[in-house]
Structure 1
Amino acid sequence: MNEANRKRPLSLDLGPCHGCMGCVEMCPEIVGWDDETERPYLKRQEATEEEIRDAMACCPKDCFEFTDE
């Protein structure tokens, strides 16, 4: 299996997040928006690099990381 297509555990660090919503716009199938906290949340705890690559690239605070690294 291609490494980019393997599902991996994903985490979202909300500490540095400033709520730009880029991740929600780029990957709405993985990242949702909580109107109460005005912060993103993970809809899924696993993703492939291919699925989340755009959100990771556009995040100005590097809030996403794979936890198996």
Structure 2
Amino acid sequence: MSRLVTVDIDVCIGCEACVETCPEVFSMGPGDLAQVYNPDGASEDKIEEAMDTCPVNCILWED
């Protein structure tokens, strides 16, 4: 089973870094916070690049 990417909206500050890095997976949702709209939209490497750009580390892998 593959991992699922999630955003902890309690930690997200709405900086849009993940959307800029990986718009195939992330978008801005309610409250101008990041959300995962297409978890299969990019490779794990590309998603991890977005994780690395997040200043508050709110993007997580869930098994």
> What TM-score does the superposition give when structure 2 sets the normalisation length?
0.80
Q: Quick check: 1:8 aligned with 2:3?
A: yes
Residue of structure 1 aligned with 2:21, choices 9, 13, 26: 26
Give the match for residue 38 of structure 1. Answer: 32
Which stretches of structure 1, 4 residues or more, deviate above 3 A after TM superposition?
A: 45-48
Distance 1:26 1:48 in 2: 12
Larger Rg: 1
Cα RMSD between the aligned structures? 2.1
Of 57-66 and 44-53, deviating more is: 44-53
**What amino acid maps onto 1:41 in structure 2?**
Q
* 1:24–1:40 contact (8 Å) kept in structure 2: yes
- Residue ranges of structure 1 left out of the alignment (5+ in a row): 1-5
Residue of structure 2 aligned with 1:52, choices 47, 50, 55: 47
* Deviation, structure 1 residue 51: 2.4
